[in-house]
Amino acid sequence: MPGDTCDVVVLLSGSGSNLQALIDSSAAPGSKVRVRAVIANRADAYGLQRAEAAGIATAVLDHKGFDGRDAFDAALMALIDGFAPQLVVLAGFMRILSGGFVRHYQGRLLNIHPSLLPLYKGLHTHQRALDAGDAEHGCSVHFVTEELDGGPLVVQAVIAVEPDDTAQSLAQRVHRQEHQIYPLAVRWFAEGRLRLGEEGALLDGQPLPASGHLIRP
Q: Does 161 bind ligand GAR (CB under 6 A)?
A: no
113 among known catalytic residues? yes
Residues 93-122 that bind ligand GAR (CB under 6 A): 112-114
Smaller CB distance to ligand GAR: residue 50 or 108? 50
- The torsion angles phi and psi of 182, rounded to 5 degrees, stand at -70, -50
Q: Does 14 bind ligand GAR (CB under 6 A)?
A: yes
Q: Which amino acid is at 134?
A: D
**Total binding residues toward ligand GAR, as defined by CB under 6 A:** 15
Residues 116-155 that bind ligand GAR (CB under 6 A): 149
Residue-level length of the chain: 217
Considering 113, 137, 142, 213, which one is annotated as catalytic?
113
Residues 45-84 that bind ligand GAR (CB under 6 A): 47
Strand partners, 46: none
Q: Does 178 bind ligand GAR (CB under 6 A)?
A: yes
**Closest by CA position to 23, among listed 89, 109, 117:** 89
Cα within 13 Å of Cα(34), Cβ side? 13
Q: Does 15 bind ligand GAR (CB under 6 A)?
A: yes
Q: How far is the CB of 54 from ligand GAR (least distance, A)?
A: 15
Q: Does 184 bind ligand GAR (CB under 6 A)?
A: no
Q: Which residue is nearest to ligand GAR (CB)?
A: 92
Residue numbers at the binding site for ligand GAR (CB under 6 A): 12, 14-18, 47, 91-92, 112-114, 149, 175, 178
Q: Which residues are catalytic?
A: 113
